[in-house]
Amino acid sequence: MDPLGWLNGISAMGVLTINLIIGFFSLYKASKLKAKLLTVTSLTIIFVGLLWLGPTTDFLKILITETNIEPVWVYPLLSYMWAAAGITLGMYIGGELLMPK
């Protein structure tokens, strides 16, 4: 694997890991505080982090088997199936901040 592949894979894994840690920690805090907006923000952080699931999975598969993900359409599916939920929750947060109840 070339150095750019290593950089891409390690950074994708780092983004995914950090977002999942921060998201689940925030979700835990939100459940303790019973804060609705923090719960939505935590889920948004998790869904945005999952956008890097495709590159991370491909990197791990290359490390283990030395082949890319097959079939090819699985890579964008793993990456972008979380986008709609992340965008929707992000718009909800924006609307809540602009016009609170």
pLDDT the model gives residue 95: 95
The SS3 call for residue 92 is: helix
C-alpha distances out from residue 58 to 67, 68, 80, 99, Å: 9, 6, 14, 41
For residue 56, give the nearest of 10, 18, 6 by alpha carbon. Answer: 10
Is residue 74 within a helix (H) or strand (E), and if so which, with residue range?
A: helix 74-80
Predicted structure pTM score: 0.90
pLDDT the model gives residue 12: 96
Domain boundaries, the chain: 3-98
pLDDT the model gives residue 23: 97
List, in order, residues 6 or more apart from 15 with CB less than 8 Å away.
Answer: 49, 52
Q: Tell me the average confidence (pLDDT) per consecutive run of 10 residues in the chain, 101 residues long.
A: 91 97 97 96 97 95 93 94 96 94 78
List, in order, residues 6 or more apart from 55 with CB less than 8 Å away.
Answer: 8, 9, 12, 75, 79
pLDDT the model gives residue 1: 80
